[in-house]
Amino acid sequence: MNSGTSRGTARTEKTLWAFLALSLVWGASFLFMKVGLDGLAPAQIVMGRIWFGALTLAAVMTVTRRHWPRDPKLWGHMVVVAITFGVAPYSLFAWAEQSVPSGLASIYNATTPIMTLLLTPLVLRSERLSRAQSGGVLIGIVGVVVLSAPWQLIGSADLAGSVPGQLACLGATFCYGFSGLYLRRFVFGRGVDSLTLSAMEICLAAPIALLLLPFGGLQPVQVSAPVVLSIAALGVLGTGFAYIWYYRVLGEWGAARASTVTYLAPVVGVVLGAVLLGETVSWYEPVGGLIVIAGIVASQRGWRMLRRATSPAQPLSAPQPRSHASSS
């Protein structure tokens, strides 16, 4: 094995670990938001997690002695990303969880690949899905349907009353799907590493999030240890380090396949509920989880093929063809 292949294999393995860590942290984020709602308004949760995340990433930037980019066009594009991948979906999910269970919210989060597929022809004409990738996405969708057990929801008055919240969840995943494609078209290929891009986005989102103050951001809070720890975890892990991992996965795998990270969120939510909250696990939950994992494997064209590949897409720090960053 030559040095180039070795480096490609090592990079692929690191991306896989980033994918798994991201799945765990973002899956747990819905539980953290639900706990945070015990003492905070949705707007306060959004501001708290973003500011914790911004401080974390700014500290990492300082420790690693990275320099902030000076390209004004790049900063302009990152403002769009800060809104569509940060403030907007965070606000929608936090508001939705007032009426939607955290597990159901995590299941809706798994529709991000569907949104990505719907938006790809409009935002990113140069990227097309292979049959294996499309098949993997469809398998994952089947797993999410089994995991959500729609036959259990029929006749549920509580869930029927949460329709606005469920629509808000879909709005959030629409934002996620759009932002991933926007990054691929307008941001990647400029020679900026994933950590710097993550820090730019969240640090831009921090002042934007202050616009939520008139919408419940100033109401009295009920501080408790679980609430504080949940918001800190949302910020440091779910909004800080998770963004570094996400940008790495997105840059290596592409928008559609990177969005399959959301398939594992329902699985993580079920496990956390059973282990930490003593929730009962029904037969369809592990079955759906296995189907979801099968979809992820299929979308990545199998573990063996993925290990042989050096890079399905250009890494973030390398120059990319002009077609990937056109119209900037």
> In this predicted structure, which of 171-175, 210-214, 244-248 has the lowest mean pLDDT?
244-248
User: 6 lies in a domain?
Assistant: no
Residue 29 included in any domain: yes
Cα–Cα distance, 155 to 159 (Å, whole number): 9
Instruction: Provide the Cα torsion 299, 135, 146, 178; round to 10°.
Output: 70
Residue 179, domain extent: 22-325
> CB-based burial of residue 322 (10 Å sphere; 0-12 exposed, 13-18 middle, 19+ buried)?
exposed
Comparison of pLDDT for 311 and 184, the residue scoring more:
184
pLDDT surpassing 70 at residue 278:
no
Confidence of residue 40 (pLDDT cuts 50, 70, 90): very high
**Does 311 score more than 50 pLDDT?**
no
46 inside domain: yes
Domain assignment present for residue 13? The answer is: no
pLDDT category, 300, cuts 50, 70, 90? low
Model confidence at 319, in pLDDT bands (50, 70, 90)? very low
Residue 283 token pair:
């037969």
Average pLDDT taken over every residue of the chain: 80
Residue 74: inside a domain = yes
Q: What is the pTM of this model?
A: 0.77
Residue 4 within a domain:
no
Question: What mean pLDDT do residues 186-204 have?
Answer: 90
Instruction: Categorize the per-residue pLDDT at 302 as very low, low, confident or very high, splitting at 50, 70 and 90.
Output: very low
Query: Do 50 and 205 touch, CB atoms closer than 8 A?
Result: yes
* pLDDT band, very low/low/confident/very high, at 156 (cuts 50, 70, 90): low
Check pLDDT > 50 for residue 284: yes
- Structure confidence at residue 190 (pLDDT): 87
Tell me: pLDDT of 264 over 80.
no
How many distinct structural domains can be found in the chain? 1
Task: Classify residue 225: in a domain, yes or no.
Answer: yes
| pLDDT, mean of residues 289-310 | 60
- Determine, yes or no, domain membership for 30: yes
